[in-house]
């Protein structure tokens, strides 16, 4: 089994983990139905993107 050569101090371990937090998704109001949606994505509520309806396949 691989064993660490040196103990990683709590401060160094925590400093490494400072970048691990999940980013909160960006939400903007849909111009069609005014529900929150992610920018540059088809609206999940009304299925519109750039003023026209888009076929949503999932």
By beta-carbon proximity to Zn ion, the closer residue of 14 and 53 is: 53
Q: Does 27 bind Zn ion (CB under 5 A)?
A: no
By beta-carbon proximity to Zn ion, the closer residue of 8 and 56 is: 56
By beta-carbon proximity to Zn ion, the closer residue of 33 and 54 is: 33
Structure tokens at 26: 């960006």
Centre a 10 Å sphere on the Cβ of residue 43 and count the other Cβ atoms it contains: 21
Closest contact distance (angstroms) between CB of 35 and Zn ion is: 5
Q: Is the dihedral of CA 42, 43, 44, 46 positive or negative?
A: negative
């Amino acid at each position: 089994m691989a064993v660490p050569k040196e103990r990683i101090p709590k401060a160094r371990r925590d400093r490494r983990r400072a970048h691990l937090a999940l980013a909160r998704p960006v939400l903007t109001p849909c111009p069609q139905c005014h529900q929150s949606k992610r920018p540059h994505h088809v609206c999940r509520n009304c299925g519109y993107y750039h003023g026209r309806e888009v076929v949503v396949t999932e």
